[in-house]
Structure formats: C-alpha cells, structure tokens
C-alpha cells in the first residue's frame, strides 16, 4: 500500500501548492496592480478651510466640494487595494497652506500626487442672481472638468501619463472636459492643451505640480460657478463616477509607470532636474494646439 501513501502525499502537495498560489493571488483583483499594496497616492484636498478657494453659484466654498470628492476618491482607492493612499488636508491661510502642503507631500515620498479642485471663472464673466434672499454670483458659460500638469515637474512623463489615463477614464464614463482654456478670451488664464483627447492642459507655474517631486496632476472636477454643474458636483452619483475614474487611472498608472528609486529622488537636486527636462519651452499662453512637442 506504499504507492497509495505516495499518491496521497503527491495529491496533498499539489493541493497545498494550489492553495498557496490562491492565497498569494487573493489580495489582488484580476485586473489590479501587483504593487498596489506598496504604491502610495496622495489625494490632496485643494485649498484650506480658512482660504477655501472659489465660491459656488449658491455660496458654498470650493474647499467643501474638494473635501467631499477627495474622501470618495480615497475610499475607492482603498477598495482597489491602494491601502497606503493618503488624504492630504491642509490648514491655514493660502500661502502658508501651500508651503505646508508641499512639505508634507515630499515627506510622504509618494508615487503620485493628485490635487482635487473645482473650477470657477474670471470675475468679468460673473452674473448676479438671488439665492434664499442673498445676492450670489454665477456663470453658466462653461462646464466640464479639466486636468493640469506642469512641465517643470520632476517627472513630467509620469505626470502626463497619469493625466492622460485619468482623462481617458473620465471620458469613458461619459464626462466631457471643457475646451475653453485654449480660448483667447481666457487672457492670462489661457493654457496649452497637451492631450486634446483626454483634456490635459499645461499649467507650468502651479507650485503643487512643480515642487512636489513626484508625478503630479491637478483635477478641476467641474465648474461650481455654473448653476447646473454645481448641483451635479454635489451629487453622490457624479462623485462616484469621478472616484471610479480616478481609481481605475491609478491602477493603470501603477501597472505601467516605472517608479524612480526613492534614494535617487532625494539625492538629485530638484533645480538641475528641472532644467534638464525643459528642452524647448515656448510660452504657455502662445499656443492652443494639441501635441506633446513644443
């Protein structure tokens, strides 16, 4: 009966191997990123409670919209296996808040920085209406999200990759980006569109995009000065769509983007890195054409 015992042992060993494989594979969904557990995304809540950014058509501060959406995004990322995700909430007046934000982001040495904002318009486009007996400002002129990156980022290619993935995911869910940032009527707020398919613009001067020392992207999730879009931005359904788009884009980014060595990231001076990555820069405001080359 020795052969029976040997067969039994072989079957048991095979089962143990299969169980080990299953246990190893279990934490990751079939289409997830294998390094999700080690990957860190920072979800930055734009502005602070004290300096809350734009005011919506119905008088709600942008910071409230940013916080709500960023929390939904963080939840989605956790569900997708990104347990090291960090929700970055900053306090204090505007400029001080900006410095704190950048310092904290650098300390966290993350793989990705995504700043969440909601859009408004230049003051000259504002009209007046009354909400609950109070005069408020609105503009229904523009609607849609927009995505910004800086060519001065320490990882411009990574920033562009994530921005394009995010734009693609938003588009797949039927959400349209706003093209108005290429329009001359935007004056000094006019931006260059670097991915016309995904709605990615260049905004080189933005401090959080330039100085956070990692792939960095800013999402204006929609216009809260637009009366209809404000209601959409406040809805759980729309927040769920945007959060799912972000989580899928982070998964795709995590799979394809090769992280830089953290030691190298610290050792290399930011200034020289920035200079090497800006070969032929034309002024941001001068062109609204699509295409990656300057």
CB of 45 to Zn ion, least distance (A): 10
117 binds Zn ion (CB under 5 A): yes
Cβ proximity to Zn ion: between 53 and 144 the closer is: 53
With contacts defined by CB under 5 A, name the span among 14-22, 40-48, 128-136, 187-195 that binds Zn ion.
Answer: 40-48
Cα–Cα distance between 292 and 294 in angstroms, integer?
A: 6
Smallest distance from Zn ion to CB 53, Å:
4
Classified as helix, coil or strand, 20 is: helix
Question: Cα dist. 179→123, 170, 233, 238 in Å?
Answer: 19, 15, 19, 20
Edge-to-edge strand ranges of the sheet holding 146-149: 86-90, 41-48, 112-119, 216-223, 146-149, 200-202, 192-195
CB 117 to Zn ion: min, Å: 3
Which of these ranges, 44-52, 99-107, 183-191, 193-201, lies near Zn ion under the rule CB under 5 A?
Answer: 44-52
User: Which one, 118 or 190, has the nearer CB to Zn ion?
Assistant: 118
Asked whether position 53 contacts Zn ion by CB under 5 A, the answer is: yes
Binding mask 265-294 for Zn ion (x = CB under 5 A): ------------------------------
- Residue closer to Zn ion by CB (options 223, 251) is 223
Q: Of 51 and 108, which has the nearer Cβ to Zn ion?
A: 51
For the CB of residue 115, give the shortest distance to Zn ion in the complex, in Å: 8
Q: Is 68 helix (H, G, I), strand (E, B) or coil?
A: helix
Asked if 215 is part of the footprint of Zn ion (rule: CB under 5 A), the reply reads no
Tell me whether residue 70 or residue 175 sits nearer to Zn ion (CB atom).
70
Compute the distance between CA of residue 142 and CA of residue 54 in angstroms, rounded to an integer: 15
Among 39, 41, 42, 46, binds Zn ion (CB under 5 A): 46
Alpha-carbon torsion 99, 274, 44, 110, what sign?
negative
Query: Is residue 222 near Zn ion by the rule CB under 5 A?
Result: no
Task: Report the nearest approach of Zn ion to the CB of residue 217 (Å).
Answer: 14
Can you say whether the dihedral through the CA atoms of 104, 89, 246, 199 is positive or negative?
A: negative
Cα 289 versus chain centre, distance: 23
The residue at minimum Cβ distance from Zn ion is 117
Number of residues that this document lists for the chain: 294
Rounded to a whole number of angstroms, the minimum distance from the CB of residue 224 to Zn ion is 10
CA nearest to 137, candidates 223, 229, 56, 54: 56
What DSSP element (H or E) covers 21?
helix 2-25
What's the min distance (Å) between Cβ of 44 and Zn ion? 11
What is the token pair recorded at 46?
Answer: 């734009």
Confirm or reject binding of residue 192 to Zn ion (CB under 5 A).
Answer: no
Distance CA 70, CA 104 (A): 17
The site for Zn ion (CB under 5 A) is made up of 46, 53, 117
């Amino acid at each position: 009966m020795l052969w029976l015992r040997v067969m039994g042992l072989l079957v048991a060993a095979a089962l143990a191997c299969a169980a080990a494989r299953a246990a190893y594979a279990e934490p990751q969904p079939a289409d997830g990123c294998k390094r999700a557990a080690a990957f860190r995304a920072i979800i930055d809540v734009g502005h602070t409670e004290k300096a809350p950014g734009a005011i919506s058509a119905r008088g709600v501060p942008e910071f409230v919209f940013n916080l709500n959406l960023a929390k939904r995004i963080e939840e989605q990322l956790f569900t997708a296996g990104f347990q090291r995700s960090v929700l970055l909430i900053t306090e204090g007046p505007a400029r001080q808040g900006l410095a704190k934000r950048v310092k904290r982001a650098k300390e966290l040495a993350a793989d990705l920085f995504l700043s969440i904002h909601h859009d408004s318009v230049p003051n000259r486009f504002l009209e007046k209406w009354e909400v609950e007996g109070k005069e408020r400002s609105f503009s229904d002129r523009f609607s849609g999200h927009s995505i910004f990156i800086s060519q001065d980022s320490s990882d411009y290619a990574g920033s562009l990759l994530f921005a394009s993935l995010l734009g693609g995911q938003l588009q797949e869910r039927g959400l349209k980006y706003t093209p108005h940032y290429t329009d001359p009527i935007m004056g000094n707020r006019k931006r260059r569109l670097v991915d016309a398919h995904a709605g990615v613009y260049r905004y080189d001067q933005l401090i959080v995009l330039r100085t956070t020392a990692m792939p960095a992207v800013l999402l204006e999730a929609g216009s809260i000065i637009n009366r209809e879009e404000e209601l959409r931005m406040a809805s759980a359904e729309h927040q769920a769509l945007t959060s799912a788009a972000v989580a899928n884009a982070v998964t795709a980014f995590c799979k394809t983007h090769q992280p830089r060595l953290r030691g190298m990231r610290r050792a290399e001076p930011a200034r020289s890195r920035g200079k090497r990555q800006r070969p032929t820069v034309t002024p941001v405001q001068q062109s609204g054409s699509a295409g990656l080359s300057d």
